[in-house]
Amino acid sequence: MRSIIDQVGPVKLRSERNRFAMLVRSIISQQISVGAARSIRKRLEQLVAPDKLTPENLLRFTPRQLRSVGLSKQKTSYILDLASKTSRGEVVLRTIGRRSDESVIEELTRVKGIGRWTAQMFLMFALGRPDVFPDADLGIRMAIRNQYGLSDLPNKQTSHEIAQPWHPYASIASWYLWRSLDLQRQQKAGTQDNST
């Protein structure tokens, strides 16, 4: 971990202030490329403009109108479920930060399309919780394999054993692991450029 920190430099973790919009972005991003997610998000923001992404603003639109920005039928239903539950007060994002990590996960996973991983990303990037370890994240598992010289992706138990020393700052360690993958991609691209 020390060599990653030396290579990456100071941590740059910033909390997302608009908690609802962060969850909408998380749903949009599921199982598609970063570029496709960004494009859909921009079209969705244009659809609601000049207003912001809020539960009430999204509930003004029909599923068909929301799908016109590139959302799948399934993701449209997830986003509308989030907007509806937030609007009705079943999910209270304004005060959710006062709750424990597991309580936040429990509340958010009541929304269709939000699983434990999405809730953990919310804890890290919306609430700024310092000690979240997303053990099921593929990038984290790949980085652990690469950095710790494992032959295969680590299972949950192995991941937690390796991550034990990172507590109470597992979120920061996870951020560095994601950055280590970025460094590897950059180094690989640089090597390919030099060989041509």
The set of catalytic residues is 137
Rounded (10°) CA dihedral 30, 91, 112, 52: -50
Residue appearing with tokens 């991550």: 163
Decide: residue 101, CB within 10 A, 0-12 exposed, 13-18 middle, 19+ buried.
Answer: middle
Residues with Cβ within 8 Å of 130's Cβ and at least 6 positions away in sequence, in order, are 168, 169, 170, 171, 172
Residues with Cβ within 8 Å of 71's Cβ and at least 6 positions away in sequence, in order, are 28, 40, 44, 79
Please give the angle made by the CA atoms of 120, 121 and 124, to the nearest 5 degrees. 90
Cis? peptide before 168, omega within 30° of 0: yes
